[in-house]
């Protein structure tokens, strides 16, 4: 399931956009807010205690900070697609390699801790569905050919399972899994908190978003 669910989540999200053609990403802001809260809670409840149980001290914090910095660096190329911002030129018909590369590395890292923490799959899945829907809306609304968009989505969909596979088969990753997981924590902390901060819409009170955020945290706690 940890291999199949991320692929299905992305492909079915693209199919949904292709068939029903929603043209406004704002309709999915509640899903994005839920995914951010759910992913943040799972990271704190599941991943964070695990890495500090295996290793204590400031060096784990260093790897977490490296993960945050890595994600900030990736966003120079993705322009924030990992948390719902996709910027594709309406006149550009070239394959968006930089966007795919940054999203793929992010997705690859997300797959690493899944080999030892099956609960995290649900947080990653919800996050990927929300992002895949918004990404698909922009791909379908761009000047890119349909075949180009399909290739993009197919490549993106396999990256998280690839990260899981590599974490179970590469000695280097297995030997340094706790440190790589710490970096993944940094990546997920950055992504999820940005989603939550941006969902506040100018810091205005929004009962619906507060409700789905609390709902996401509660579900993560009882998983």
Residue-wise pLDDT for 27-54, tens only, equals: 678 888 899 999 999 999 999 999 998 7
CA distance 96 to 79: 12
In a domain? residue 58? yes
Domain assignment of residue 103, yes or no: yes
Rounded distance between C-alpha atoms, residue 59 and residue 29, angstroms: 36
Is residue 26, in this structure, part of any structural domain at all?
Answer: no
Number of domains in the chain: 1
Closest by CA position to 158, among listed 95, 111, 99, 96: 111
Under 8 Å between Cβ of 34 and 126? yes
Task: Report whether pLDDT(87) > 70.
Answer: no
Q: Does residue 24 fall inside a structural domain?
A: no
How far apart (Å, rounded) are the C-alpha atoms in residues 87 and 80? 9
Whether 80 maps to a domain, the answer reads yes
- Domain assignment of residue 215, given as a range: 4-19+31-222
Residue 83 lies in a domain: yes
Residue 71, in any domain of the structure? yes
Residue 204: predicted pLDDT: 60
Residue 51 lies in a domain: yes
How would residue 153 be classed by pLDDT, with cut points 50, 70 and 90? very high
């Amino acid at each position: 399931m940890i291999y199949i669910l991320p692929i299905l989540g992305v492909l079915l999200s693209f199919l949904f956009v292709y068939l029903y053609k929603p043209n406004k990403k704002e309709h999915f802001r509640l899903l994005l807010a839920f995914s951010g809260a759910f992913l943040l809670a799972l990271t704190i409840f599941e991943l964070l205690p695990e890495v500090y149980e295996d290793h204590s001290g400031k060096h784990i914090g260093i790897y977490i900070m490296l993960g945050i910095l890595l994600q900030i660096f990736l966003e120079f190329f993705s322009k924030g697609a990992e948390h719902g911002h996709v910027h594709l030129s309406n006149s550009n018909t070239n394959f968006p390699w930089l966007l795919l590369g940054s999203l793929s590395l992010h997705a690859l890292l997300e797959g690493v801790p899944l080999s030892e923490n099956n609960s995290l799959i649900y947080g990653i899945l919800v996050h990927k569905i929300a992002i895949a829907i918004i990404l698909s809306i922009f791909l379908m609304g761009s000047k890119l050919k349909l075949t180009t968009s399909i290739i993009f989505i197919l490549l993106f969909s396999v990256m998280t399972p690839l990260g899981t596979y590599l974490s179970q088969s590469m000695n280097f990753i297995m030997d340094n899994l706790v440190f790589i997981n710490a970096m993944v924590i940094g990546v997920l902390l950055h992504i999820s908190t940005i989603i939550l901060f941006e969902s506040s819409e100018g810091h205005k009170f929004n009962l619906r978003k507060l409700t789905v955020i609390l709902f996401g945290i509660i579900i993560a706690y009882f998983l």
